[in-house]
Amino acid sequence: MVTLSGGWRVCGAIAIVGGAACGHPTDRALASPGALRGANVLLITIDTLRQDRVGAYGNRSGLTPHIDRLAAAGVRYAHAFSPAPLTLPAHASILTGLLPRHHGVHNNTKVRLDEHVPTLATVLKRGGYRTGAFVGAFVLDGRFGLNQGFDEYDDRLPRGERASFHFAERRGAEVVTDAGDWILAASSPWFAWVHLFDPHAPYDAPVEYRAGRAPYDAEVAYADAMLGQLLARLRAAHALDRTLIVLTADHGESLGDHGETTHGLFAYDSTLAVPLIVNGPSITPASVAASPVSHVDVTPTILELVGLAAPGPVDGLSLVRTPPPDRPLYFEALDASLTRGWAPLRGIMQGGWKYIDLPDAELYDLATDPGEQHNRTDRDPHADLLRRTLRLASGPETAAPRVAMDTEAAARLRSLGYSAGSSPRTVTAGDDPKRLVALNERFNTALTAFDEGQPQQAIAGFLAILRERQDFVAARASASTALVATGRSREAIDLLREGLRQQPDSPELLAKLGAALSAGGDAAAATDAFERARRAGDDGPDVLNQLALVYAASGRASDARATFHTLIERHPGSATAWFNLGLFELQNRRREEAVAAFRRATAIDPSYGDAWNALGAALVRANAKAAVDAWRRAERLLPGDYDLLFNLAMMLADGDAPSDAIPYLQRFAREAPRDRYANDIAHAQATLGRLGRPGR
């Protein structure tokens, strides 16, 4: 192995960017078309996995032994790239073969993949496959459209306190257990997509993976270990005997490169370069493919290997045939443009050169400058060439539909650090994200402070940002959320009205104003704000839900009921909408309607503890046994709700089997806070005495 300047290494006759480990160079390592007809397909995506953390790509830290074994028995693509450094658009490209400009999903906020865009699962299902997906984060919730074609789409996440990172994801151990259960029960052929979110911030790996590792690296090691558990279980059951395995990441992580801590703002290789490994029968082991490839190649490659036709024109190429080495690859990072009004970032890679189209354009020779430190735009003719190539690649775009977003959904997206605000305007050189990266980092720091229970620090951060950039709608909206959460509704109202003087038709600011006014007790003004938000274009479920609530608070019961029903007609799968309708009907003494609504909420989301609790309350007078059953379910989901625990215990104590109340009474007497529940604890202890059990 000879090391050349700029980090290039030569493995045989193939140049590998960025110090990748060597393997057997190949022009064709995959099986011939249709050679894996009828084979099972396992697609593994690991969120936020930098290519340079994988041992098969040259990392010597031993973080990824299971991924490395897949690579050693398959093909490793040395130059694989994501077209967008964000989870939802990247996965949309993986599963459709389309670039973001053609599937229409550019960021993680208010759009979903159009139901008319076929997915890999759609085609495989039509081809006779059982299809299952198991995702680890809310940003891939089925409401965003990637559930199309899946018989089973497991996006169930634990509920809990909103605006918390913890409840936005589930650990890889849970994902691989559910995926393994489904695969082993599925009839062949099957297609399973398994998504591990763990390397995404915040980095919080189980303690046994942390020793001697940076927090991000510990998460990578944990994700690899969970993958290893899944593969070992499937191999032991011979479920992988005839299975095509494709592993990739949706994007990488900056980790401070170019001043960015995480991902989404820039499009340097820290976040665009991804691992891509293909493993399976008839595939040449320990092979390295050097031609540049993209996420959009995954779907056409899988389909050609298993002998199924692509559903229509796609942007990707099947890697059964070696792509041209000078193939141009499009990429984009548009979140800051869509959510903050900053300059849109688009670019093109070709022949070892990379062009980023911004007010301050960038050009990099990746052969001599793999770290993308030396901008050559003003002194190299490749800039004009790639600028023209990008212009040719920029044709008509597809618009994606807005997503169904209820209150809980919006909160979970905020907890991931994503915001849905926008402030469309003409961009200038001052809007180039390179000039705003420090502001971006401060915004993320403030979001994190809020999520970690430091709202005052978060508010100070948001307000400092607004003093520098008044048009930063996401910062203003986030500040209002934090102010309302800390009981400072009046300050939130003033802040939002200040923003609306500059942008009077901003639907997000109007919706936030409605929420602040509602929290401040001014239902009439809140109603006006929400109605204005609808007229400004936000007719989504979050606004409808809150408008129904303020109608109810204003005594406009018929308007509230009509709005709830409009919401449910549009979004019948929203457990939150059914729950709120149930509360409304319960408050209006329509118990049968309330029970029906709560039952729908719990059927949609069996982990919805508050809905089970409310169902029990609605059933108490009509059906004591059913009420107890609902409260038992709720108690398991809400172990810290001592009102619920007391109600359940006392109802059991007064029922046909009073001894069933004993463990609940004992726990209540032992755990309930005495400063709040002193009288109830005495009652519980007396009841235990009546049942022949001591209270302590």
- Mean pLDDT calculated for residue range 539-560: 90
Q: Please give the Cα distance from 252 to 255 (Å, whole number).
A: 9
Q: pLDDT class for 17, splitting at 50, 70, 90? A: very low
- Mean pLDDT calculated for residue range 605-612: 91
CB 579 within 8 A of CB 596: no
CATH 3.40.720.10 fits 23-393, yes or no: yes
Distances (CA, A) of 35 to 32, 177, 593, 683: 5, 30, 57, 72
Beta carbons within 8 Å of 494's beta carbon, 6+ residues apart? none
Q: Looking at residue 474, what is its pLDDT?
A: 87
Q: Please give the Cα distance from 60 to 323 (Å, whole number).
A: 30
Residue 27 has pLDDT above 70, yes or no: no
Tell me the Cα Rg of the chain: 27
**pLDDT tens for each residue of 103-121:** 999 998 767 899 899 999 9
* Three-class DSSP category at 80: strand
**pLDDT tens for each residue of 123-157:** 999 999 999 999 999 899 888 899 999 999 998 87
Residue 362 has pLDDT above 90, yes or no: yes
- Mean pLDDT calculated for residue range 370-376: 97
pTM of the model as a whole: 0.82
Q: Please give the Cα distance from 246 to 243 (Å, whole number).
A: 10
Beta carbons within 8 Å of 643's beta carbon, 6+ residues apart? none
**pLDDT tens for each residue of 421-474:** 444 457 789 999 999 999 999 999 999 899 889 999 999 999 999 999 998 888
- Mean pLDDT calculated for residue range 480-486: 94
What's the chain's average pLDDT? 89
Q: Looking at residue 464, what is its pLDDT?
A: 97
Q: pLDDT class for 20, splitting at 50, 70, 90? A: very low
Element (H, E) at 276: strand 276-279
Element (H, E) at 390: helix 382-393
* Three-class DSSP category at 364: strand
**pLDDT tens for each residue of 42-85:** 999 999 999 999 999 999 999 999 999 999 999 999 999 999 99
Q: Homologous superfamily of 422-569 in CATH?
A: Tetratricopeptide repeat domain (1.25.40.10)
Residue 11 has pLDDT above 70, yes or no: no
Q: Looking at residue 8, what is its pLDDT?
A: 28
Show me where the domains of the chain are located: 23-393, 422-569
Residue 10 has pLDDT above 60, yes or no: no
Q: Looking at residue 30, what is its pLDDT?
A: 85
% of the chain exceeding 70 in pLDDT: 89
Residue 170 has pLDDT above 80, yes or no: yes
Q: Looking at residue 574, what is its pLDDT?
A: 80
CA nearest neighbour of 500 among 468, 476, 526: 476
Q: Looking at residue 26, what is its pLDDT?
A: 59
Beta carbons within 8 Å of 645's beta carbon, 6+ residues apart? 635, 664, 667, 668, 672
CB 16 within 8 A of CB 288: yes
Q: Please give the Cα distance from 433 to 360 (Å, whole number).
A: 9
CA nearest neighbour of 485 among 415, 584, 549: 415
Q: pLDDT class for 22, splitting at 50, 70, 90? A: low
Residue 166 has pLDDT above 60, yes or no: no
Q: Looking at residue 417, what is its pLDDT?
A: 42
- Residue 618: CA count within 13 A, CB half-sphere: 27
Q: Looking at residue 524, what is its pLDDT?
A: 93
Higher local confidence (pLDDT), 433 or 158: 433
**pLDDT tens for each residue of 386-400:** 999 999 887 666 666
CB 543 within 8 A of CB 408: no
Residue 164 has pLDDT above 90, yes or no: no
Q: Looking at residue 571, what is its pLDDT?
A: 79
**Structure tokens belonging to residue 439:** 């502001």
Beta carbons within 8 Å of 107's beta carbon, 6+ residues apart? 86, 88, 89, 264, 334, 335, 338, 339, 418
Cis peptide bond N-terminal to 189, omega within 30: yes
Q: Looking at residue 537, what is its pLDDT?
A: 83
Q: pLDDT class for 540, splitting at 50, 70, 90? A: confident
Q: Looking at residue 56, what is its pLDDT?
A: 98
Q: Looking at residue 413, what is its pLDDT?
A: 43
Residue 621 has pLDDT above 80, yes or no: yes
- Mean pLDDT calculated for residue range 504-521: 93
Amino acid at site 266: F
Q: pLDDT class for 287, splitting at 50, 70, 90? A: very high
- Mean pLDDT calculated for residue range 504-529: 94
**Structure tokens belonging to residue 467:** 């003093």
Task: Transcribe 427-469 into DSSP letters.
Answer: --GGG-HHHHHHHHHHHHHHHHHHHTT-HHHHHHHHHHHHHH-
Q: Looking at residue 120, what is its pLDDT?
A: 98
